[in-house]
Amino acid sequence: MTSIVIPAHNEAQVIGRLLDSLLSQPSQAPQGFTDEIDIVVVCNGCTDDTAQVAGARGAGVRVVEIPTPSKHTALRVGDQHARGFPRVYVDADVVISGADVRAVARPLAADGDGGTSVLASAPGRELPLAGCAWSVRAYYRVWQRLPTVRQGLFGRGVIAVSEAGHARLAALPPLMADDLAASLAFAPEERTVVETARVVVHPPRTWGDLIRRRIRAATSTAQLEQHQRREAATEAPAPSARTGRADLLALLRADPTLLPALLVFAAAAVAARRGSRRAIEAGDFGTWLRDESSRGA
């Protein structure tokens, strides 16, 4: 049985659309299709109606409430209630169907001796940019082309792991960049992106919302790199998903029409670096700059 764990902190506005999509049955679905998916929603520190909205979806959704507003704690509590593997962790503000969850989980079903070496997987992402500012669209025109973004499991809101892969995730400390840390915990040959499965990730609508999201990303990446340096046992460089000048130049050489979008991308990177400086210097890795504009989509 595939188990889905959804950490949700004040997500009453969006949790319903995700659960409805997970519980929907394709027209040619086999009998008992939804019974193969075990869904646990962990409402952590909620002050809105998240638990009620999730609970209204019926017996197919189990709701667990905890007082602590912590995604890391919610994930661990979800593990305690989940019934099976592969295990799929899904952010409450994305949209993915039950059929696509099964497709993402499929490469993980045979891990172990004599099975596949894939320990973690994620779906292909869709970013509906139609309602976004031109600068946001320009930024994502570049971002979606970056090799690390195409190949990594982060930035999708969905990560699936086998039982062996779960053991590796369970060893990670609580970090802001939890999806990035989870992606980097697996070597390229141990992870895969299932492009036939799709998840809708709602992007920020305005430039200001984008910069707040990028400041959070810059801050959380700095925390992850500090952790990597503390844990490093060798001189080998730690795995990284940072974008370098060479990556951008390669994109420009491949498509010179990207120049205006690359300038926007660079401007966002500079703004995020400046905006995150104070939090990094103060060691403030707990302030979560949440993007509400994407939740209104």
* Average pLDDT, integer, range 2-21: 96
Task: Determine the average pLDDT of the residues in 4-22.
Answer: 97
Mean per-residue pLDDT of the chain: 89
- Domain spanning 2-133+143-206: CATH superfamily: Spore Coat Polysaccharide Biosynthesis Protein SpsA; Chain A (3.90.550.10)
Give tens-digit pLDDT for 196-221. 999 999 999 999 999 999 998 888 88
HEC string for the chain? CEEEEEEECCCCCCHHHHHHHHHCCCCCCCCCCHHHEEEEEEEECCCCCHHHHHHCCCCCEEEEEECCCCHHHHHHHHHHHCCCCCEEEECCCEECCHHHHHHHHHHHCCECCCCECCCEEEEEEECCCCCCCHHHHHHHHHHCCCHHHHHCCCCCCEEEECHHHHHHHHCCCCCCCHHHHHHHCCCHHHEEEEEEEEEEECCCCCHHHHHHHHHHHHHHHHHHHHHHHHHCCCCCCCCCCCCCHHHHHHHHHHCHHHHHHHHHHHHHHHHHHHHHHHHHHHCCCCCCCCCCHHHHC
Three-state secondary structure of 206-218: CHHHHHHHHHHHH
Closest CA to 151 of 198, 189, 202: 189
Q: Residues 259, 252: contact at Cβ < 8 Å?
A: yes
- Mean pLDDT, residues 19-41 taken together: 76
Please report the pLDDT score of residue 26 as a whole number: 67
pLDDT of residue 229: 78
Question: Does 234 have pLDDT greater than 60?
Answer: no
Beta bridge partners of 191: 120
- State mean pLDDT over 181-194: 93
End-to-end CA distance of the chain: 32
Could you give the residue range(s) of every CATH 3.90.550.10 domain in the chain? 2-133+143-206
Complete edge-to-edge strand list for the sheet that includes strand 87-90: 61-66, 37-44, 2-8, 87-90, 158-161, 120-126, 191-201, 94-95
Q: Sorting pLDDT into bands at 50, 70 and 90, what band is 288?
A: low
CA–CA distance, 175 with 84 (Å, rounded to integer)? 25
If we measure between CA atoms, which residue out of 106, 90, 77, 83 comes closest to residue 18? Answer: 90
